[in-house]
Chains A and B, each alone.
Chain A
Amino acid sequence: MTITYLEAIREAQEKALRDDERVYIYGQDIGTLGGAFKATKNLAKEFPGRVLDAPISEDAMVGSAIGAAIEGMRPIIEMQFADFSMVAINQIVNQAATLYWRTQVACPITIRLPSGGNPGSGPFHSQCLESLYSHFPGLVVMTPATVEDAYTMLLEAVEIDDPVIFCEHKYLYNRLKCEVLPETGLPCDTARIARFGRDVTIVAYSAMVHEALAAADQLHKEDIEVEVVDLRCVKPFDLKTVLSSVARTARLLCVGESWPWGGVNSEVIASVVTHGFHLLDAPPQRINSKDTPVPFHPSLWGVHKPSSQVIAAAVRRLCDW
């Protein structure tokens, strides 16, 4: 039996609901329909009264989760698309993210953001917002790249006492599969070496890990050995693992699907330059999506986001530097 990335998210929520009576799920169309992507399929039936359809009110959804968390609950909020979380940004960054700092009362809420594009999704159903949310103090921003991580990290998100922005990638929903879900995983603040290599370090997360791995396969045929670091969590991120890898390869390329300005890539590169300048033999590079809204047509969209071909070309340039 195989389990997809999407099913792993459903399984994690089922386990959380089963194991912890403080957990409930609130979001649009998540009850009878089971969610726009079926991430809560049958959960409303299995857990009556704990998987609740919300009105189209993202602000109130998150606000109410904060109030419930203060009273000891562990709410999971499903945003129908990551893009719509922007309607709730005030509650997320000003209310939830500041609560512990202001009052010493924790805010254990999990906000699931179905992120990234699929062909034909267009500007408002395709966004990757991890860089934006990482900007704000007090949020934990998770970006799982594997079925196993989607499962264990979502369970960890529910356990964590801080607000978690859980960026699950829609492109991976049905494309990734595993045989058995693990019982435990690495803690979220620990990066994973997805592939070992001696020549160049690629730091990536979420769907871009798979583009980086595809590029690494191609480059291997050209005798370039790429090391791929999967950040798993972008705020906070595991600088130690990144620096250790750069210490081995002396070359760094960061790949992320969010927009370039003030993003995860920039932060990783700034941190490596600050703490590991002496390790570098070449200027660190980055690849983001293009600095435009996400285009609708598949031919444009395929070029808008980083691809394995663009990544491979950047690695070749880095090696030639």
Chain B
Amino acid sequence: MLDTLKQPKRGVVSPVSREQYVDAFNWMLLARTVEEKLASLWRAGKISGGVYLGKGQEAISAALGIMLKSGDIFGPLIRDQAGRLAFGESLIDVFRVHFGSRTSLSRGRDGNVHRGNPRGGYHAMISHLGSLISVVAGALVARRFQGDTTAIGATTIGDGGTSTGAFHEAINMAAVEKLPLVVVVVNNQYAYSTPNSRQFACSDLVERATGYGVEGHSLDGTDLQECLEVLGQATQRARSGHGPQMVVGDCLRLTGHGEHDDASYMDKTLSQTRLGRDCLKIAENYLQERHWADHVLLEDWRKNAKEQVENAVADAQHEPLADPAMETWCPYATKRIASAVLVR
């Protein structure tokens, strides 16, 4: 009985169209291209601080991003380049923030993955894992007060982030409030260097959904088709009043924690399993098998992605960087408070 209630039947899933698959694929491709460029800029010493990539997780992220509509709320995490772009992040902002451009919303005050446009429903993560889930939930509380019955919120977290108290508090609260929130747990097998076996003791993280009284879904994160189906269904369930949805996607992080990390601690045999498949390659093969794209078209898309990225980098590199002399050095939004502080 419980299974019937908590595990929505696959039968209601609408088939993934070519248009949708191609759309998601192109966001994956663009994200991969962006991240290859970021890695190369980092190696060349052009980016201060860290660079954190989502290689191997693009299918989940892109699928989530395209399921969100204008007016929805998105709280991405560090490996969500594809979802960010699909949700509407402009390419130049990616590089602005990495370079520390003065024209970016964060003005060089925060960098790399800590970017967003919160008033546009696109939240800027802090480094403390799990803490964004309740923020996205709160945005949905506001929407409910404001009479918005159509918007949903979505946020992602890794396998490591599920161990935080913030994760637990936020999902429980969202369940109590029956919020239209989709929490996507991307289990990429490692939290920095810590494997699943040192992170949690349940056999599958999706089991937790039942405990929270929310609907749970599982997906193979290397398979874009499945990502689109399951995330399509989860977002639809949230949108149609079925409360929070927990989606657990399995994949393998095909890169270090950040570019500074050679990931030498990873179990090499994992890459030979289904988990270790590169979702971008799988998607390319699928496109060709279905005759949705051939070599020529794929090459066109790659070229187009590369051009877009090179143009965005060139434009961002021409912009002025953060400058201490131009900084307000004031963290207050209230004018009266700001002037009281600055008078010192």
Interface residues of A, Cβ cutoff 8 Å to B: 24, 50, 54-55, 57-73, 75, 90-91, 94-95, 97-108, 137-138, 140, 160-162, 187, 189, 236, 238-239, 271
Contacts and interface: CB of A to CB of B under 8 A. Distances in A.
A73 B142 contact: yes
Interface residues of B, number: 46
Interface string B103-139: 0011101100010111100011010100111111111
Contacts of A73: 141-142, 145
Given A138-B331, A162-B332, A102 B124 contact: yes
Given A55-B176, A59-B165, A64 B145 contact: no
Contacts of B128: 90, 94-95
Given A73-B145, A95-B131, A162-B333, A236 B173 contact: no
Contact of A68 (B126, B142, B170, B332): B142
The 7 closest A-B pairs by CB, nearest first: A67-B138, A63-B134, A64-B138, A71-B142, A60-B169, A57-B169, A106-B333
Contact of A236 (B106, B141, B165, B337): B337
A108 B142 CA distance: 13
B340 interface: yes
Given A59-B134, A68-B139, A100 B331 contact: yes
Contacts of B337: 140, 160, 162, 189, 236
A103, A236, A271: most-surrounded residue (chain B CB, <10 A): A103
A63 B109 contact: no
B137 A67 contact: yes
B106 A91 contact: no
A98 B125 CA distance: 11
Interface in B17-41: none
Interface string B171-214: 01100100000000000000000000000000000000000000
16 contacts: A55-B169, A59-B169, A63-B138, A63-B166, A64-B134, A64-B141, A65-B138, A67-B123, A68-B138, A71-B138, A71-B139, A91-B134, A97-B331, A100-B332, A138-B332, A238-B340
B143 interface: yes
A70 B118 contact: yes
Contacts of B124: 102-103
B126 A101 contact: no
Contacts of B138: 63-71, 75
A236 B119 CA distance: 27
A64 B116 CA distance: 18
Contact of A60 (B109, B134, B146, B341): B134
B340 A70 contact: no
A61 B173 CA distance: 8
- Among B73, B134, B137: residue with most chain A CB under 10 A: B134
Contacts of A64: 134-135, 137-138, 141, 170, 173
B106 A102 contact: yes
Given A63-B170, A98-B126, A71 B146 contact: yes
A103 B97 CA distance: 11
Interface string B316-338: 00000000000000011110110
Interface string B45-76: 00000000000000000000000000001000
Given A236-B340, A239-B344, A99 B173 contact: no
B331 A63 contact: no
B344 A63 contact: no
A54 B169 CA distance: 11
B140 interface: yes
A61 B165 CA distance: 13
A63 B133 contact: yes
B90 to A, nearest CB: 16
Contacts of B334: 106, 140, 160-162
Contacts of B114: 102
A75 B141 CA distance: 11
Given A61-B134, A162-B332, 18 more contacts: A55-B169, A59-B166, A60-B169, A63-B132, A63-B133, A63-B134, A63-B138, A63-B166, A67-B123, A67-B142, A70-B139, A90-B166, A101-B109, A102-B106, A102-B110, A104-B105, A161-B334, A239-B344
Contacts of A70: 118-119, 123, 135, 138-139, 142
A2 to B, nearest CB: 32
Contacts of B145: 24, 50, 68, 73
